[in-house]
Structure 1
């Protein structure tokens, strides 16, 4: 059995650490008109009739796979994606971003590849990278770390926080591109330690290398989600399915739960990890399992919403009255509660 904690990441300890940190910062909220509290995907600050949405994130240990492959042209896409996908979750259109690149030693060639990915991701998200910071930190950083902070804008009467979610609403899932940029510590343990593969070996049962499968960029959901918001469909909630898997849905409204019993088949990489010893509960607790973004709409608008979002979107379940729970029918047929 292989678990996330065995790979060096303790989700529960991370949550406690975040709570301790944010508890010290709560008093600072008095300095501006904050609409969303801590714990949502993006923060909102009211500026008259418009709110500014802000989010920050990084690429995480996916960088270590890029280092193993000596290929850095995709991690910039992941960096953009992890930020803008969170901004979408309050109904805001992402607008601009600043990046932070910390390096052990400056390397112009690596920086050029990282910049290439950032530019590609920005074009996909239709945002501007308006600045940033590069720091040389020998002794603190090994190779490099990449993170970014982004902003978006939304009219205050169009903010989506999840408070309008009601019993019986449909949960629509948009297919992910694969593993995205979370859970890589566990994935690396499975492939490089348990299976003793190199990043250049083929993924079992596939003609794609392990490294290429792990480096496949995080999907950027800006275009389909903004099209849904602008379509007139009543969107009651939006969730980016990142670290923590479908537990991210619980960030929207504590009084409701979710039953996900029509999930699409996950990509092959997830099935390989499960077959290699990761418990099925752990798979759905850590990874997106083939669904990278969720929209929650009224049941009578679900078909229209799927039509707007395209053929990679599916109704995957519904909102229930089981507060703060997510009940999942796994692809194996097993029942899981998060």
Structure 2
């Protein structure tokens, strides 16, 4: 059997990787990244490593890092061919995580991987990342674009992000000072954020839902792609004004699994389910999916994207500060002594 005659000269493009497209993307995103730069940024996009000097004024600076992705919410972006918001999700998931330890996000790096690079799509994604960094006040100082033929379905990509923040050691927030009598505040989410989308997509598939259908004045697809709220600037302003004992980012695991991550073993958080309005998105998903109350609060944020625990005497002032900064906030519960091995989060009036 004769062997096929190989071409006289193979290139990387023949193997499916377009180096020129990657170069065009770098040039397209440079001005987007430059808008996010802080004074501490050294150099620019395109070097082998990103450089950032520590801000002055810290006596015992602690660096706090976080990394995350967007998850299967990306599948909806592919389906709707809308790529301008998932970058905000990417930033939000990491900067909100480091924020709840008291850290100010300093810089962010992204990883964009695909089978074949579409410069226009990738530029839309990075524009969202830059917008998220601007919301968080952190610099987009680097990243990686990987074109890997055969690894991803045509038109699909994956995202990962990495954030680094800083906090004075004496101002670290770890929940250790939370005591019975403290008040739990809930900051409104913008939607499902970036969690529970495998279940959401399953419900959409089972009911053959039309993503272009109206949902309270917007298309269902637009509602589901609403980007994750970034809480950095309002919460940093709160931390500069009042003592905060604990902060929890409500991500995968919902209210039931994220709040215990900041609670001492001897206390529980008792939440009153009627103290904040459950967004219709979640009651709608609950009805369509036959989701139990327990599962709903374990999978979704149910309208609360971030929780703050403060002294009872500081609760009203904290709410006013957050509201002045543009947040919607409710007093959703309190901390009490734990009895035995009872669950550390209890939600009444489901």
State the TM-score, normalized to the length of structure 2.
0.78
Shift of 1:301: 0.8
Out of 212, 235, 238, the residue aligned to residue 225 of structure 1 is: 235
Q: Specify every segment of 5 or more residues in structure 1 that has no aligned partner in the other structure, as ranges.
A: 1-46
Q: Partner of 2:67 in structure 1?
A: 56
**Are the equivalent residues in 2 in contact too, given 1:68–1:199 (CA < 8 A)?**
no
Looking at structure 2, the residues matched to 189 and 178 of structure 1 have their Cα atoms a distance apart, in angstroms, of: 18
Q: Partner of 2:83 in structure 1?
A: 72
Looking at structure 2, the residues matched to 228 and 116 of structure 1 have their Cα atoms a distance apart, in angstroms, of: 29
Q: Partner of 1:326 in structure 2?
A: 345
**Are the equivalent residues in 1 in contact too, given 2:68–2:160 (CA < 8 A)?**
yes
Looking at structure 1, the residues matched to 217 and 67 of structure 2 have their Cα atoms a distance apart, in angstroms, of: 35
Q: Partner of 2:253 in structure 1?
A: 244
Residues 95-122 of structure 1 deviation map (CA, whole Å, 9 limit, x = unaligned): 1010011112111011111011111111
Looking at structure 2, the residues matched to 254 and 166 of structure 1 have their Cα atoms a distance apart, in angstroms, of: 8
Looking at structure 2, the residues matched to 137 and 282 of structure 1 have their Cα atoms a distance apart, in angstroms, of: 37
**Are the equivalent residues in 2 in contact too, given 1:73–1:116 (CA < 8 A)?**
yes
Larger radius of gyration: 2
Q: Partner of 1:82 in structure 2?
A: 93
Over 2 Å off, 4+ runs: 137-142
**Are the equivalent residues in 1 in contact too, given 2:238–2:321 (CA < 8 A)?**
yes
Q: Residues 3-18 of structure 1: matches in 2 within 5 Å? A: none
- 1:260 maps to 2:274: no
Aligned residues: CA RMSD: 1.5
Shift of 1:249: 0.6
- 1:214 maps to 2:224: yes
Q: Secondary structure at the match of 1:235?
A: coil
**Are the equivalent residues in 2 in contact too, given 1:182–1:287 (CA < 8 A)?**
yes
Shift of 1:48: 6.7
Shift of 1:94: 0.7
**Are the equivalent residues in 2 in contact too, given 1:160–1:238 (CA < 8 A)?**
yes
Q: Partner of 1:273 in structure 2?
A: 285
Looking at structure 1, the residues matched to 275 and 125 of structure 2 have their Cα atoms a distance apart, in angstroms, of: 34
Residues 144-202 of structure 1 deviation map (CA, whole Å, 9 limit, x = unaligned): 01110000000111111111111111000000011101111111111x22321122222
